[in-house]
Amino acid sequence: MDGEAAVGEALAAEARGAETEPASIAWASSFAADAPRIHTPIPGPASLELLARRNRHEFGDFPWIDMLPLSFAGGAGVTLEDMDGNRLIDLTHGHMSAALGHGNPEVAEAIDVQARKLMNTRNYPTEARIELMERLAQITPGDLNLFGFFSSGTEATEAALRVARTITGGHEFLSFYGDYHGKTVGAMATGEGGTPNTGPRSSGHMTVPGGWCHRCEFKLEPSSCGLHCVDFAERAMLVNSHGRLAGIIAEPVTNGSGGRVYAPGFLKGLRDICDRHNIVLIFDEHATGLGRTGKWWAGDHEGVIPDIIIFSKFLGNGYPITSIAVSERFTAEANRSSQSSTHGGQPAACAAALAVLNILQRDKLVDHVARAGEACLNFLKGLAARHPIVGVAQGRGFLIGLEFIDPKTGAASAQMASKVAVETIRRGVVVSPVGPTMRVSPMLVTSEAVALRTLGIVEEAIADVESRL
């Protein structure tokens, strides 16, 4: 089925499904009924006017704004409204943080009630903070029942590195190509986040290829490689170590590099390396945690339990709160690892997170994502087979993306991804390209029918770009 046929079929399915979906999906997806609805050029005049004011005062490059400037006035459920009144379907939702919908009334109400009661008491116990820990302990795997709260992903990454250092007395970490863990100095040393201006990677950090078979860095075949990437990772770690190893940090499914899923056995291989050398395994589940991949934790797909998990972009549905969960085996060390943050876990953020957990559990959104995510990935795989500029469709659940290539050489092409992204946004679907990949990750409250219809619009944009090559 091509993009246009998918759109037609999905519209009919949407009409049939609207009454039977769980409350959060029915609410959020209902706003897509008349979206996309585009009545000005994108960007329109009001978007450009706000952008000019922005350019006067805000510094720092933001590639998506440079690619196609848009300014937003509001959002409802799975949609965004730009300054010119165009309504777009949102496949990025604040870098995948507003996963339960813009303007979610249950989350907004929880924040409002709590903010009127108590603003901030730093790390002192509050009912909301403690209840959140108790609820999370029911969800986290194994004995990962010790928590800390922060306001951003990168702070939680730093916290994980601190705990691992305290546990091991070491400071050397192994991480993987294509991973991203944040933009503070320690976090940047663990991924591909640096620029010529950010200075050298902190010493003690090593980055090696992960087990991503589509473009195997060792040019090996999955059927015969015997997971050479795991052996290489261990060997590189030992060769580069000066005897102060602390841990391995990995995204179990990658976000920044467009939803790379590692070879079966790769994550287990990392667990084994950590066990062999008495070091700490950290999974960065900022993008994947709390059900985005169709299980509560991406590590669950492989049955691998790390020592530390850091999560999650949408714990507060866009209200800033992130968390670290540490194994109880390390209670003494975690207690000494200096965890505090002025805004981390402030009461209204915890209230937002409790509302998010209530909705996730009440509406069984993790099961929904597993089912609908599979349908979406199948559609994307068909799309990859039909279109020569698509290299691969990848991901899990609602963390899905496409890699674009130059059809003549087969080389990964950031330029092609950017062209497709621009055409997709002009059609009223907001997507985020990163290098040669483009994430097309729906909110967790997107119905399968709306998600498939939206991906059909992505296919129309791809066909348009191809027709002009």
Ligand X SMILES: Cc1ncc(COP(=O)(O)O)c(C=O)c1O
Q: Where does this chain bind ligand X (CB under 6 A)? A: 95, 152-154, 157, 180-182, 251, 255-256, 284, 286-287
Asked if residue 254 lies in contact with residue 286, where contact means CB atoms within 8 angstroms, the answer is no
* Shortest reach from residue 322's CB to ligand X, in Å: 7
* Shortest reach from residue 183's CB to ligand X, in Å: 6
Asked if residue 266 lies in contact with residue 231, where contact means CB atoms within 8 angstroms, the answer is no
* Shortest reach from residue 97's CB to ligand X, in Å: 8
Q: How far apart are CA 385 and CA 387, in angstroms?
A: 6
Pick 99 or 384: Cβ nearer ligand X: 99
* Shortest reach from residue 188's CB to ligand X, in Å: 10
Pick 223 or 342: Cβ nearer ligand X: 342
Rg (C-alpha) for the chain, rounded Å, is: 22
One-letter amino acid identity for 390? V
Pick 95 or 419: Cβ nearer ligand X: 95
Pair type for strands 390-396 and 399-404: antiparallel
Residue 106 CA: distances (Å) to CA of 101, 139, 289? 10, 21, 21
Pick 230 or 287: Cβ nearer ligand X: 287
- Alpha-carbon dihedral angle through residues 268, 273, 278, 284, given to the nearest 10 degrees: -60
Cite the DSSP H helix spans in 1-152: 3-17, 23-30, 45-57, 63-67, 93-96, 105-117, 127-137
Pick 29 or 312: Cβ nearer ligand X: 312
* Shortest reach from residue 109's CB to ligand X, in Å: 24
* Shortest reach from residue 156's CB to ligand X, in Å: 8
User: DSSP 3-state assignment of 73?
Assistant: strand
Pick 83 or 280: Cβ nearer ligand X: 280
* Shortest reach from residue 157's CB to ligand X, in Å: 6
Pick 106 or 251: Cβ nearer ligand X: 251
Q: How far apart are CA 166 and CA 333, in angstroms?
A: 6
Residue nearest to ligand X (CB): 153
**What does the block give as tokens for 105?**
């009334």
∠ CA 223-390-369, rounded to 5°: 75
Instruction: Please choose, from the candidates 110, 242, 102, the residue with its C-alpha nearest in 3D space to the C-alpha of residue 173.
Output: 242
One-letter amino acid identity for 322? T
Pick 86 or 154: Cβ nearer ligand X: 154
* Shortest reach from residue 366's CB to ligand X, in Å: 19
Q: How far apart are CA 165 and CA 120, in angstroms?
A: 29
